[in-house]
């Protein structure tokens, strides 16, 4: 299906474990983004990528690692999950910096 | 970077127009105003954007004041499915043209 998809939709992991959230888009958009949204708050930018092999930090990058070896994929890794990383994570993509962004349906991550 | 101010919450009767205001008094000439909405923790959905002129699409209209210091998103005939949090965002080169979301306006459409 065309669009942007995130997997898994729900994940429970233990403190200290490594976990990777996947994001895949079929539009060949140059830009991809990861946001987190905590209860009662707006979305906060974690990392973004302007193209394959180009990534940059957003507002809240600590504790996260990203990679972009292919244009269509932008995985987000929590190297050692902490309870404070319990959140809903949204991936997004855009064609350019003055265009609208399209968001995935989110991954609800719980760290216990 | 241009900050935005929106009311925390609003109600609107079903079938009536919903007018959602946004203040962006420090906006610069080359910064766009974007509107998104988020329905019940789904991914944010793009609605509309504009620079200077008023814009209309199948979802909504965007009215930007002549001095560009404020704008209004208009949903012409609100339905229950329009109940959502609406975000007004100024896209600024000063912040890398990234979408920075505030807390938005929680719109409740009342039957």
Q: What is the DSSP code string of chain A?
A: --SEEEE-SEEEE-TT--EEEEEEESS--SEEEEEEE-TTS-EEEEEEEEETTEEEE-S--TTEEE--SSTTB--EEESS--GGG-EEEEEEEESSTTS--EE---EEEEE-
- Please say if the pLDDT value at position B1 is more than 60: no
Average pLDDT, chain B: 92
CB contact under 8 A, A97 and B102: no
| Identity of the residue in A41, A56, A101 whose CB atom sits nearest the CB atom of B99 | A101
| pLDDT attached to residue B33 | 94
Sign of CA dihedral A33, A35, A88, B20: negative
- Please say if the pLDDT value at position A45 is more than 60: yes
pLDDT band of residue A14 (cuts 50, 70, 90) is: very high
Is the pLDDT higher at A37 or at B94? A37
CB contact under 8 A, B99 and A45: yes
- Please say if the pLDDT value at position B2 is more than 70: no
| pLDDT attached to residue A42 | 82
Instruction: From residue B7, give the alpha-carbon distance in Å to each of A9, A30, A57, B97, B100.
Output: 31, 34, 30, 24, 17
| pLDDT attached to residue B3 | 84
Q: Phi and psi for A46 in degrees, rounded to 5?
A: -95, -60
Between CA A48 and CA B96 the distance in angstroms is 11
Q: Which residues of A touch B49 (CB under 8 A)?
A: 100
Pairs across A and B, CB distance < 8 A: 49
Residue among A22, A60, A94 at smallest CA distance from B99: A94
| Distance in Å, alpha carbon of B11 to nearest chain A alpha carbon | 19
High-pLDDT (> 90) share of chain B, %:
77
Averaged over A20-43, what is the pLDDT?
Answer: 92
């Amino acid at each position: 299906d065309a669009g942007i998809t995130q997997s898994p939709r729900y994940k429970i992991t233990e403190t200290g474990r490594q976990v990777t959230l996947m994001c895949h888009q079929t539009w060949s958009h140059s830009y991809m983004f990861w946001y987190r949204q905590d209860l009662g708050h707006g979305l906060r930018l974690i990392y973004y990528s302007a193209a394959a092999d180009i990534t940059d930090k957003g507002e809240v990058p600590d504790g996260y690692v990203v990679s972009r070896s292919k244009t269509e994929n932008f995985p987000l890794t929590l190297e050692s999950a902490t309870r404070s990383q319990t959140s809903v994570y949204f991936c997004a993509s855009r064609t350019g910096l003055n265009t609208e962004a399209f968001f995935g349906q989110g991954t609800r991550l719980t760290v216990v | 970077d241009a900050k935005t101010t929106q009311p925390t919450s609003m109600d609107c009767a079903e079938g009536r127009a919903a007018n959602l205001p946004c203040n962006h008094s420090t906006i610069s000439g080359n910064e766009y105003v974007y509107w998104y909405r988020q329905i019940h923790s789904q991914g944010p959905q793009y609605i509309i954007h504009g620079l200077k002129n008023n814009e209309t699409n199948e979802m909504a209209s965007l009215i930007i004041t002549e001095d560009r210091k404020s704008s209004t998103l208009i949903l012409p005939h609100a339905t229950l499915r329009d109940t959502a949090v609406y975000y007004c965002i100024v896209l600024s080169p000063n912040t890398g043209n990234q979408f920075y979301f505030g807390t938005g306006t929680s719109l409740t459409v009342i039957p």
